[in-house]
């Protein structure tokens, strides 16, 4: 007999005869009531067991975590809290669960404990909700770009290029690390390596993406990226997913418009399609807030915060204006910032970004026209000769969620910049070809997918919005 999803049973408009449901026991009360969850929804279905006609040995095996199959009728529930329940006629234990040893007991667990059990944490309400929201958001990403006629490009994971020029890469090699082949000069001989050259895991698909934008017009990537930056923060992963649209003939303003429209679309999509899960996550946050001191409580409940982002313009501010605001800010004057902003040209830390968003503007902010020397080589130089057409989008509770720019389309200017930064032109010959043959104004950005999921779910640690987080000293599972 084909089983019906719990979600469909709970959404049924009539009672039903002879249905079958399969799932995992969340709780078993009074030797009679199973709360059954199958992952299709945050909600459990109540299954009422005919305990008088069920053998004791079977009843004992209905424990938290066990997989069961129940057959019976979907009837109107006599109890409060649910419209329908299953009156069980036949119960089958599919997989026992040792009640004493099962780590996901029906009680509150710390997020740290759950991270150590990332293979089982998805069986909790919160992680089930987060992972369903994540899935819906990734569909929304494709839906947005596909509707607009963007072409989805799978850029390589293994690459020779360091797109961001930050040198934070994981090397890919098949050379024996305990017996490396050497050149006559005594350096490692990468000609003998698998690809015949030095390669690493990609930090961004942008450079390859640009070559496609210069043929297909509008493209996007959505794939894993890797950064070996040793920053053990609640916003950084060593392996994360990035969405990178790239559009020919778009300038920086078009780029900002696209990013803002895109973010609003995907947030709205999640709100429209994940209401049960988001309501649960909002309730979870409200509970958590109660245990915090007043000053640290956030002002808006989750759904109101998402609505605010969907319905309000992002504030667009130049780097120069932002530095003026920060220099005059109370935490700067009172030396409360870890990094004091003294002069134009300073790189902004997440404490500054969050001050601008959370305290000063109180809305998402797009900062643009950054100093050239704190940004990547490919960004278009402004007429002032010292700023580039960069933009970062800053979000409350998150800091930077998007980084992007108008690209330097002028061959000579780009080559000069690469020379100044010591970037090998020969390595990037193919990238320079886009500027040799039919170059044009173009722009793009990268959205960190996990930072988006953080924002939408209201979680605070990026390790809790990716199934199996990779961070320094941690690659379990």
Tell me if 206 contacts ligand 4AD by CB under 6 A.
Answer: yes
Tell me if 46 contacts ligand 4AD by CB under 6 A.
Answer: no
Tell me if 240 contacts ligand 4AD by CB under 6 A.
Answer: yes
Task: Report CA dihedral (55, 57, 63, 69) to the nearest 10 degrees.
Answer: -50
Least distance (Å) between residue 226 CB and ligand 4AD: 9
Tell me if 204 contacts ligand 4AD by CB under 6 A.
Answer: yes
- Residue 448 binds what, of Mg ion, ligand 4AD, none (CB under 5 to 8 Å, by partner type)? ligand 4AD
Closer by beta carbon to Mg ion, 229 or else 254 = 229
* Surface-to-core class of residue 322, CB atoms within 10 Å of its CB (0-12 exposed, 13-18 middle, 19+ buried): buried
| Whole-number Å distance between alpha carbons of 92 and 449 | 40
Residue pointed to by tokens 């079958």: 20
Tell me if 403 contacts Mg ion by CB under 5 A.
Answer: yes
Q: Which residues of 165-184 are buried (b: 16+ CB within 10 A; e: fewer)?
A: beebbeebeeeeeeeeeeee
Within 10 Å of residue 337's Cβ, how many Cβ atoms?
Answer: 16
- Contacts with ligand 4AD by CB under 6 A: the residue count is 23
Task: Give the interface segment with Mg ion, choosing from 56-64, 352-360, 400-408, 449-457 (CB under 5 A).
Answer: 400-408
Closer by beta carbon to ligand 4AD, 10 or else 130 = 130
Give the pair of three-digit tokens for residue 184.
Answer: 């006559």
Closer by beta carbon to ligand 4AD, 61 or else 389 = 389
| Whole-number Å distance between alpha carbons of 196 and 254 | 40
Site string for ligand 4AD, 210-239 (x = CB under 6 A): -----------------x-x------xx--
Least distance (Å) between residue 383 CB and ligand 4AD: 22
β-pair partners for 366:
316, 393
Applying the rule CB under 6 A, the residues between 365 and 424 that interact with ligand 4AD are 400-405
Residue 291, classed as helix, strand or coil, is: coil
Tell me if 450 contacts ligand 4AD by CB under 6 A.
Answer: yes
Residues 6 or more apart whose CB falls under 8 angstroms from that of 376 comprise: 163, 164, 165, 166, 405
Q: Which helix (H) or strand (E) holds 88?
A: strand 84-95
Closer by beta carbon to Mg ion, 379 or else 456 = 379
Least distance (Å) between residue 422 CB and ligand 4AD: 19
| Whole-number Å distance between alpha carbons of 45 and 22 | 11
One of 65, 223, 396, 446 touching ligand 4AD (CB under 6 A): 446
- Residue 123 binds what, of ligand 4AD, Mg ion, none (CB under 5 to 8 Å, by partner type)? none
One of 47, 86, 140, 163 touching ligand 4AD (CB under 6 A): 163
Beta-strand relationship, 45-48 and 84-95: parallel
- Residue 223 binds what, of ligand 4AD, Mg ion, none (CB under 5 to 8 Å, by partner type)? none
Least distance (Å) between residue 470 CB and Mg ion: 19
Task: Give the interface segment with ligand 4AD, choosing from 121-129, 178-186, 357-365, 447-455 (CB under 6 A).
Answer: 447-455
Least distance (Å) between residue 376 CB and Mg ion: 8
User: Is there a contact between 390 and 377 (Cβ–Cβ < 8 Å)?
Assistant: no
CA distances from 391 to 126, 271, 357 (A): 34, 26, 15
* Surface-to-core class of residue 316, CB atoms within 10 Å of its CB (0-12 exposed, 13-18 middle, 19+ buried): middle
Task: Give the interface segment with Mg ion, choosing from 49-57, 169-177, 402-410, 460-468 (CB under 5 A).
Answer: 402-410
For residue 373, give the DSSP letter: G
- Closest-by-Cβ residue to Mg ion is 403
- Residue 65 binds what, of ligand 4AD, Mg ion, none (CB under 5 to 8 Å, by partner type)? none
Residue 114, classed as helix, strand or coil, is: helix
- List contacts with ligand 4AD (CB under 6 A): 163-164, 204, 206, 227, 229, 236-237, 240, 242, 244, 400-405, 444-446, 448, 450-451
Binding residues (CB under 5 A) for Mg ion: these are 403
């Amino acid at each position: 007999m084909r089983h019906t999803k719990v979600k469909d049973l709970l959404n049924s408009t009539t009672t039903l005869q002879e249905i079958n449901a399969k799932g995992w026991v969340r709780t078993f009360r009074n030797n009679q009531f199973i709360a059954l969850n199958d992952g299709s929804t945050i909600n459990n279905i109540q299954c009422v067991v005919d305990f008088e006609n069920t053998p004791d040995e079977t009843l004992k095996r209905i424990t938290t975590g066990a997989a069961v199959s129940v057959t019976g009728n979907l009837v109107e529930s006599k109890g409060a809290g649910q419209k329908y329940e299953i009156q069980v006629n036949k119960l089958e234990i599919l997989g026992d669960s040792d009640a004493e040893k099962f780590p996901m007991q029906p009680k509150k667990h710390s997020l740290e404990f759950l991270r150590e059990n990332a293979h089982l944490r998805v069986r909790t309400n919160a992680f089930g909700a987060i992972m369903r929201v994540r899935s819906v958001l990734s569909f929304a990403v494709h839906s947005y770009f596909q509707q607009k006629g963007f072409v989805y490009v799978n850029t390589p994971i293994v690459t020779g290029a360091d797109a961001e020029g930050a040198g934070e890469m994981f090397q890919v090699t098949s050379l024996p690390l305990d017996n490396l082949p050497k050149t006559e000069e005594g350096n490692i001989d990468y000609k003998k390596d698998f690809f015949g050259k030095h390669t690493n895991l990609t930090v961004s698909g942008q450079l390859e993406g640009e070559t496609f934008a210069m043929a297909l017009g509008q493209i996007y990537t959505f794939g894993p990226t890797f950064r070996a930056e040793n920053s053990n923060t609640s916003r950084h992963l060593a392996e994360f997913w990035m969405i990178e649209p790239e559009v020919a003939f778009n300038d920086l303003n078009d780029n900002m418009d696209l990013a803002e429209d895109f973010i609003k679309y995907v947030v709205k999509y999640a709100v429209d399609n994940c209401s049960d899960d988001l309501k649960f996550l909002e309730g979870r946050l409200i509970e958590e807030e109660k245990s915090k001191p007043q000053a640290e409580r956030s002002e808006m409940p989750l759904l109101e915060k998402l609505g605010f982002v969907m319905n309000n313009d992002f504030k667009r501010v130049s780097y120069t204006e932002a530095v003026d605001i920060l220099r005059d800010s109370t935490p700067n004057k009172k030396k409360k910032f870890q990094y004091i902003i003294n002069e134009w040209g300073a790189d902004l830390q997440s404490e500054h970004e969050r001050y601008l968003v959370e305290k000063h503007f109180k809305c998402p902010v797009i900062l643009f026209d950054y100093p050239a020397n704190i940004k990547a080589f490919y960004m278009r130089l402004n007429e002032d000769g010292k700023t580039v057409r960069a933009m970062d989008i800053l979000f409350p509770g998150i800091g930077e969620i998007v980084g992007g720019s108008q690209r330097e389309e002028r061959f000579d200017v780009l080559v000069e910049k690469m020379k100044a930064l010591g970037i090998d032109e020969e390595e990037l010959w193919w990238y320079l070809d886009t500027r040799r043959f039919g170059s044009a104004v173009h722009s793009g950005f990268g959205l960190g997918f996990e930072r988006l999921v953080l924002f939408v779910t209201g979680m605070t640690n990026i390790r809790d919005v990716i199934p199996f987080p990779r961070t320094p000293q941690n690659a379990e599972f």
